[in-house]
Every structure is written in C-alpha cells, then in structure tokens.
Chain A
Amino acid sequence: MINLIVIVISAIMLVLVLLWWRWPAFRIWIEAPKYFMLRQERRFDDPERRRHSR
C-alpha cells in the first residue's frame, strides 16, 4: 500500500517536472490559464461590455 502511494505520487511529480523541464511549450501552456482568468475578470468588470451582454 505504502509503496503504491509513494510510487504513484513520485510518478506524478516526475512526469510534471520532466514536462516542465524538457518542454517549454508545456510551461507556456500550463501558465496560460492564469492570464486567461485575469482577462476574463477584466472583461466582466468592464461596464461597457456588461451593458451589451445579455
């Protein structure tokens, strides 16, 4: 049981770190949503846009 948990968690971490390290596009992709969220927040905060939304 313990081995299973340790192996799976280690595997998840290893895969993520390898992706991060070896694949710049992954880095860009995985960080992108934080900008998307903020942009959406700005859109919804814009009174002009809100007036035209249903």
Chain B
Amino acid sequence: MTNSTEIASYPSERRNSQSSGALPSVEYGLIRAHVFASLVTLVVSVLFGLLVATKFSFPEFLGGHGWLTWGRLRYNHTQGIFFGWLGNAFLAFFYYAVPRLANRPVLSRKLGWFLFCVWNFAVVLPGWVLVAAGFSQPLEWAEFPLVVDAFVVLAFILMVFEFVLPFLKARLSDLYVSAWYIIGGIIFTMLAYPVGNFVPELVPGARGAAFSGLWIHDAVGLFVTPFALAIVYYVIPATTRRPIFSHFLSMVGFWVLFFTYPLNGTHHYVYSAIPMAAQKGAIVASAYLGMDVILVVTNLLLSLRGSSGIASKDVPLRFVWFGVVSYLVVGLQGSVQALMPVNRVIHFTDWVIGHSHLAMIGFGSFCALGGIAHLWQRIPGTRYNERMMNWSFWLLAVGLTLMVTDLTIAGLVEAQVWQSSAPWIDSVRAVGSYWLVRTLSGLPILAGFVLFWVSLVTGPRSSQAITPVTSREATEIKVAFEGAPAASHELIPTAWLSHAHVIAFGAGVGFFALSFLVLAILPGKELANEIKRAAPVTMPMLTASEQRGRVIYGREGCAYCHTQQIRSLAADVRRFGAPTEAWETKYDYPQLWGTRRIGPDLSREFNLHPRDWQLTHLYNPRLVVRDSVMPPYPWLFSGSANQPTQEGLDLLAYLQSLGRARQLSGFERQPLLSSVQPATPDMAMPSEPSARATPPSVPIAMTGGYSDSAPVLHPASNPADLQEEVSRGGTVFAANCASCHGSAGKGDGRASASLLPKPANLTAARFSDERLSSVLWNGITGSAMPPWRQLPTEDLRALVAHIESLHVASAPSSTQVSASLGQAKSLFAAACASCHGDTGAGNGPAAGVLAPAPTNFHLKKPTEERAWEVLENGVPGTAMAPWQSQLSADQRHALVEFVRSLYGTPQENAKQ
C-alpha cells in the first residue's frame, strides 16, 4: 500500500504547508494531571472489582454495610473503570496527540482545567459517593445517578470545544486516522450518552431496553474502542518511526466500525420481546463488526512488520501490541456470541463477563497503558522505570489471561447446568471454585496496575523534553517518505476531500441518528403497538410501597444477578415459565431486564415464596439456601429477619409483585404450549424444539396455587438399597433442607428463628410416602417450604427414604386416660373436624381456605409427644390454635389417643 510512486506524487507544498512554523503548545500539566487521576481511579476501581469478586466466594465479607454491598461496589467498579480510569487516560492522550494531529493547540488551558475538574470532581468522585450512598441508576454502563449524568454530557460538550474545534480550525486535508477516531468518538458519545442514560427513565420496559441496548454497546464501541484505536494508530508509527501499512484500510475500518458498532446493541436481547427484525439486524451488524476487526488488526499487525525487535524491547509498544491481539480475539468472540446458537447457551453466563474483561482490560486498558507509557517518555521531566514497567506488563498479561480463561470455562459450566433440569443452586455450586480462581487472578492484575503507577513515579528525572528514539533499531529505520522526491505534478483538485474533519464530524452525527432510528425508534414503535394490543385493560400498577421497593431493588444491584427477562428458549421456559412479553414491562421505569444471571430470573416471583421466606432470605440468604452467594441486606432490618424496616417491607412488596399482572390476567394458566410460541415464527431454531414439543405442565420453580399430582416416590424395599438411599438422602438433605429443618431434621435450622410457621420437626411425625412426595413436589402453600421438583427423581426418592428414617418411635404413654374413646370422638367432632375432617383426612369444611392446609392424619402421623405439644400450644403461623385453656388435660390426652387411632390400620398404629 505504500509505494514510491505515490509518495513521489505527493506535492511538496502540501507536505510542508501543514507542518511548518512554530510548534503548537502542548498542555503538559493537564497531561500529568489526567495521568495521575487515571491511575488513582484505576487502582480504586480495581479494588472495588476485587471486593466484588471476593464476595462471590465469601458473601458475608464486608456485608454488613449498605455502602459496601456487592451491588453498589459493582456499580462503582465499572463506572470507575469507564470514567475514572479510561476517561482520564484518554483525555491525557488527547492533550498529547491533538496538537500533533491538528497542528494546533487545544482550545484553552483554562477550559482544560475546568474539564478536568468537571470530569473528576463532578462526575467520578460524586458518582462514587452517591452510588455508595444508594443513589444510582440500575442500567448497565449508566449506573451513576442522573444528576451526575448531566455533568457527563457537559464534559463531552467541553471535549468538543477543547479537542474537536482545533481540527475544525486547522482545516487540515491530512486528517490522520487517530484524529478521525477522536472526533467521531467524542461527537458520537456526546449524543449517545443522554439516549442511554435519560431515555430509559422516560420510556418503560422493553421499549426502554431497546434504548439501553444502544448505549450498552456504544459505551464500549464508541467510547472505549475509537479512543483505544486512536492510541494504537498513534503509538505504532510513532515508536517504529514508520508509517502505518495502509491509511486507506484504516479508513475503511473506521467507517465500518462507526456504521456497525451502534447497530450491535440489541444483541444483548436476543430471544427477547424486542422485535425480531432488530435482533437479527444486531446479529448481522455483529458479524460485520467481526470482519471489520480482522481488517483493522491485519492493517495494524502489518504496520508492525519488520519491527519485532522494537516491539520486544519497547514496553509501551508491547502493551499496544497486546491490546491489538486482544482486540482481535474479543472482536471475533463478540461476533460469535451474537449468533443465536451460541447466544442461547452462553448468554447471561460468566463467559460474557470474561469477554467484557478481555475488552476492557485486554484491549481498552492495555492500549491506554501503552499510550500513557508512550507519552510519559516524551513529555518534559518524566520517564518511566523500565524494569517496573516490564513487571507491570507481565503481571497484567498473566493475570488477565488467567481471569478470562477461568471465566470462559465457568460460563460453559453454568450454561451446562442451566440447560439441564438441575436446581439453580447447582450452577452456583458448580462454579464456586472458578470464582475463587477469578478473585485470585485479580491480584496480579491489581499488582500490575500498581506497578505501572510506581513505574511512572520512580522513573529517572530528566529535563529533556523527549526521547529522540526509543531504541537503536528505530534509528536504523529509514523513513521512506523523507527521501522521496518532490512531486512534479499536482493532485487532481479534491476540494471536498479537504474537509475531512467535517466528514468525521458528520459521521458521528449521522451514524448516531441512524442507530437511534433503527435500534430504538422503529422497534420502540412496534413494541408500543404490541403493548397496546396485548396488555390487559385491568393491568395493575405498582403501589407506592412496591414502587419504593423497586427503587431499592435497583439501588442494591439486584438486576445485575437476577434477570427479569425469560427468553423464548426451552431451558428458560422449563425453569421460569412462559417468555416475558413486552406488555408485562409496561410500567417498568427504567427497565430491569438485566444482562446476567447469578441467581434465577425473578419475572414470576409472585406467589413463589412466602413472606417470611423472602424476609429471611433478604436478611441472610444462607439461612434458607445454604450455598447461596447472594449478599445479605441486614440494613433493611432492625436486628433480625422478622423485624424488617419499612425499606425491607417495600422491597418485599416489590418482589412479591413480580409477575402478578401476568398471573392475574390469566395468561399464566393458559396452556404453556401457546405461550411458548414466539411472536415471530422465524425465531424457532432447529435445535430448539423441546419447549414447544413437550412443554412441562408447570415451570420448575412454580409453587403455591399450582400444585399438581405428584409422583409417589417409594423408597427401596431391599434393606441394602434402602440404606444406600438413606445415605444419599442425607447428603441431599444437608445441602438443601438442613438450613431450615436442622441437620438432624428437628426443625431447628438457622432459618427457623424467622420462619412462621416453623419448619417441621421431621423426627416428631411419621410421614407416608405419598405425603413426602407431595410436599417435595409442590411445597406447602402458606409456609416457607418450597417445591423441590427440580431435584432429580433419585434425589427426591432418597430424601423420602432419609426423612422417613428420621422418625423416632415414641414410648407408649403411661398417662391414665379417664375419658373414653367415644367421648374423645365427640370432642374431635366438635373441636377439630371443621378443619381436619370427620376422619382426620384434613378435609373439613374450613380446610379449603386455610394455608397451610390442616394435617391429614392418614398421611402425617405425629408422635404422642408432638400431638400433645400441638394441642397445648397450637402451631404458630397456622390456623391450629392452642387448646390448653379450653380443654382439660384428660380431654387433651383423650384427643391425642383418638387422633393416633386415625393413623391407619391397627398394624400400622401398633408400630407407633
């Protein structure tokens, strides 16, 4: 692409006119200030990330304070990296590169310091403080609250004046590719930022998600990528002292990137309620982007040809080279991830987290580090410590490689569990060790960043302004164009081409408008029509308490682990219910669809768990789910799980409202077969037939009000097999049941203190196989007992065997019963039969309205002591009242005997 004829034909007057005269001033003070601000915020942001990662393995760690909870730290981690680290690093680079590329100084030093103050003291610092204090926005890459967003927009407007205006004033015809990326990136982000941050507050649910999708990808694709590429395109030729391979290819790369990247956003919502045309458009745009990345990287690597000696010795160039390779990997990965067959498996998993870390550290951060190190060697009075810089590079490279590999494998493991019918918590258990490795891999990364900082401040001091050459090899390279003869003929007049900066400016505005139209306006219009058509007339709005709870849900980052978006996939439908439809999100301001799942989807939480289970779970999740990694929220309570504050009650109210509209509308009771049908038939994938072919009658997680006949699980009759089942059941019991029922099954687990009714004492009654099977299959409505039908049948059978083995036969009573059995029968008919039924089958006239249902004594057979205890004290949290004050001791003893006579055959009773 570089031949001597072309070089020779480049007119000498053009060569000289734009690069003659005094050098424009460079704001070194601002460069240093932004470099230090970037490194300070980088280290803080990485510490936030390390804490976030640690909490996956140790969820109680620093869990007692709201401002240190997982969700708020997670918000501050990503926003700190985005604004604090990368924002400041890019600004430092702009101050260095713009005067060189525009041959003019930046607009104003005072404006620069004002921008510095706005960026750091009106955006980063207050953003962190406000998020920690609980004021945030639960939208990906838009977590800082709206008041901070206003200053971000102001900062981007200031950037236009500071960095774009010099290009417009310079009227250069030689606009280098780095300048194109700087101009396009600033203009585009200035326009896209308000759309992603403000519009979802005004446009609800699925329609808002279309706008969020736009920004989610623009944040990476039109802020990080253009500015990182601007650095790469600058550092490579500046270090090797050779021009890039082809400026033409770099321009093709620029245009394709700016056209396709904004169209990628909706690939975060594949298989969602967003119109299929937008989804497919995003997938196609993602594929094009992959091709563009190949083109860009090829051009960049060809620019490095013959410079391997420099690349191995010049650490900044090595950082940039690593960034280029990461860009190739992450770009291809992104294109593949968007494809439906891949997306359906890996979306929401840690694979995507690995991908985003490769993008933000491997590509964005390595390029930014390379840019900073490069300019640090060339501004007056600063040099880096080469040894430290080397260490920094290798620590970062090793740490990142380990982290990305680990998260990618973890994602595949999660995906495998999610595709099965195993309980959700199994996926959490399966990746526990991977999360630990991820945390450990963060340590060399943190060390690498700290060493980078140390390297900058411990380098040799020098008054020399620049390092003339970076290595001996560089001095030996002859820059071809310098020796080229002056042109003998003039260029064909290219007046319009001389306004390249205007074209770049127009690219930003034009592509923003196009993506806005194609990804947000058109799908939004279609969604609005669909919502109008499908939403029930009586669809209830959230109450004031639920609305407040929604704010708390957003504030604590719940949406970053729990989606509210059931996709049109067999695995999702089997586990959570029918796919989320657009009308269900009619009142969601802003949308809370989420982009990741650590915990299960919560779209259908209504009626799923009772109040006391929810409160106990919020107070300390491990009280009811032993292996949960969810953070505790003790600040929503006054010391115990059964003393929620108003905020705790509000959050509870919101959780219990999720999916209510759908259930009340009757949609949920329609045959699942029809609800699984996608809105557009072409969504059906050849490999995705199971949900439609054999839909489950009820999703795995469904409970109260949805009970259906359970299979009766009979333990093995063979003693050896039975013993094996009991043993296996013990393991399953310890993992899933002991937190409530206690390790010995006495109903005294850690959670029992805050549950009402208390978990059953499984040693104090003998259960029939039918009863245990039914409870394990359907849970117990009105209690904290959830259904466990998601467990494998063998585990359920083993649980039945284990629980039956817990029963301890009581010694025959020595109490003299004076009342006759006949009198006791009359007493039972008068006092108990209205609930328990005449025969004790739990089917009295009042039973239908009681939850939990009255005990069926044919299926659950309490010991004599337990029956006596219940008659004396009742069962708190149920309709069973204490009878101590109303019946004499003799009458109660008679009733106990009578109840025991109802248990079954005499042979069975004799076993008691």
Contact = CB atoms under 8 A, between A and B. Distances in A.
Interface of A: 1-2, 4-6, 8-9, 12-13, 16, 20, 23-41, 43-45, 47, 49-50, 52-54
A38 B856 CA distance: 88
Contacts of A13: 252, 256
A23 B248 CA distance: 13
A46 B848 CA distance: 91
Contacts of A39: 15, 19, 481
A29 to B, nearest CB: 5
7 contacts: A20-B248, A26-B497, A28-B6, A32-B247, A36-B172, A47-B465, A50-B23
A25 B242 CA distance: 22
Contact of B10 (A4, A32, A37): A32
Interface in B12-54: 14-15, 18-19, 22-26
B720 interface: no
Q: Which of A1, A4, A5, A38 neighbours the largest number of chain B CB atoms within 10 Å of its CB?
A: A1
Nearest to A8: B259
Nearest to B522: A1
Contacts of A6: 284
B176 A36 contact: yes
Contacts of A35: 7, 10, 15, 174, 243, 481
A34 B173 CA distance: 12
Nearest to B179: A33
B437 interface: no
A25 to B, nearest CB: 4
- Nearest 8 interchain pairs by C-beta: A53-B23, A1-B281, A36-B174, A25-B492, A34-B243, A33-B176, A37-B176, A33-B174
A1 B24 contact: no
Interface stretch (B233-241, B308-316, B361-369, B527-535): B233-241
Contact of A33 (B23, B177, B288, B518): B177
Given A28-B9, A31-B6, A31-B246, A53 B281 contact: no
B260 interface: yes
Contacts of A4: 281, 518
Contact of A43 (B19, B175, B177): B19
B636 interface: no
A39 B103 CA distance: 11
B497 A29 contact: yes
Interface in B862-911: none
B1 interface: yes
B869 to A, nearest CB: 68
A40 B19 contact: yes
A38 B239 CA distance: 10
Interface of B: 1-2, 6-7, 9-10, 14-15, 18-19, 22-26, 99-101, 103, 172-179, 234, 237-238, 241-244, 246-248, 251-252, 255-256, 259-260, 263, 277-278, 280-281, 284-285, 288, 378, 464-466, 468, 479, 481, 491-492, 494, 497, 518
Interface of A is mostly: helix
Contacts of B10: 28, 32, 35
Contact of B14 (A5, A31, A32, A41): A32
A47 B260 CA distance: 43
Contact of B237 (A1, A37, A45, A50): A37
Contacts of A8: 259
Contacts of B234: 37
A29 B494 contact: yes
A50 B378 CA distance: 12
Contacts of A27: 6, 248
B865 to A, nearest CB: 71
Contacts of A50: 23, 465-466
Nearest to A35: B481
Contacts of B19: 36, 39-40, 43
Contact of B173 (A16, A29, A38, A43): A29
Contacts of B243: 34-35, 37-38
Contacts of A38: 237-238, 241-243, 479, 481
Contacts of A40: 19, 100-101, 103
Given A32-B174, A38-B241, A12 B284 contact: no
A34 B237 contact: yes
Nearest to B240: A38
Given A9-B259, A33-B175, A36-B19, 19 more contacts: A2-B284, A4-B518, A8-B259, A9-B288, A12-B259, A16-B255, A25-B492, A25-B494, A29-B494, A31-B247, A32-B14, A33-B176, A35-B10, A36-B18, A37-B174, A38-B481, A41-B238, A44-B99, A53-B24
A46 B887 CA distance: 105
Contact of B464 (A5, A9, A25, A47): A47
Nearest to B479: A38
Given A35-B481, A40-B101, A2 B280 contact: yes
Contacts of B177: 33-34
B491 A54 contact: no
A47 B464 CA distance: 8
Chain B CB within 10 Å, residue with most, of A16, A24, A37: A37
A12 B234 CA distance: 25
B307 to A, nearest CB: 14
A53 B466 CA distance: 14
B25 A53 contact: yes
Nearest to B180: A33
Given A9-B260, A31-B248, A54-B25, A41 B494 contact: no
Nearest to B283: A2
Contacts of B178: 37
B468 A45 contact: yes
B256 A9 contact: yes
A12 B507 CA distance: 12
A13 B10 CA distance: 25
B621 to A, nearest CB: 42
A25 B248 CA distance: 12
A2 B282 CA distance: 9
A48 to B, nearest CB: 11
A37 B180 CA distance: 13
Given A26-B494, A33-B177, A52 B285 contact: no
